[in-house]
Amino acid sequence: MMSVELTPRQREVVRLVSLGCTVEEIALVLDLSPSTVDNHKTRAMQRLGTNKVALLTRLAIKHRISSLKDQLTRAEKRRSGRGNDGWN
């Protein structure tokens, strides 16, 4: 498996995207502006060689940034404003 160099922040953003969070939700979880989150997401997608979120999720699993069993933590749910939506 090829090694992909992502910054720790890019890895956090990719993980949260792979769990179905929107840019706005990620911004709340990480206490960043939505434009900053979008920049991290865009750069991570470029480094991973994709422009599709569905493929980003697959790549997050492949590169062990996320797993099929991964879920938002209670704190992440609380900060993002997400309820129990059946997914996370």
pTM for the full model? 0.88
pLDDT digits (tens, 9 = 90+) for 60-83: 999 999 999 999 998 999 998 887
pLDDT digits (tens, 9 = 90+) for 29-51: 999 999 999 999 999 999 999 99
In a domain, 66, yes or no: yes
The single residue listed with the structure tokens 């979008």 is: 38
- The DSSP secondary structure of 25-46, one letter per residue, reads HHHHHHT--HHHHHHHHHHHHH
pLDDT, residue 1, reads 44
pLDDT digits (tens, 9 = 90+) for 14-30: 999 999 999 999 999 99
Query: Distance (Å, rounded) from C-alpha 60 to C-alpha 33?
Result: 23
In a domain, 20, yes or no: yes
Q: Is 38 in contact with 47 (CB distance < 8 Å)?
A: no
pLDDT, residue 3, reads 58
Instruction: Please count the structural domains in the chain.
Output: 1
In a domain, 27, yes or no: yes
Find, among 15, 10, 38, 6, the residue nearest to 88 by Cα. 15
Residue 76's domain spans which residues?
8-80
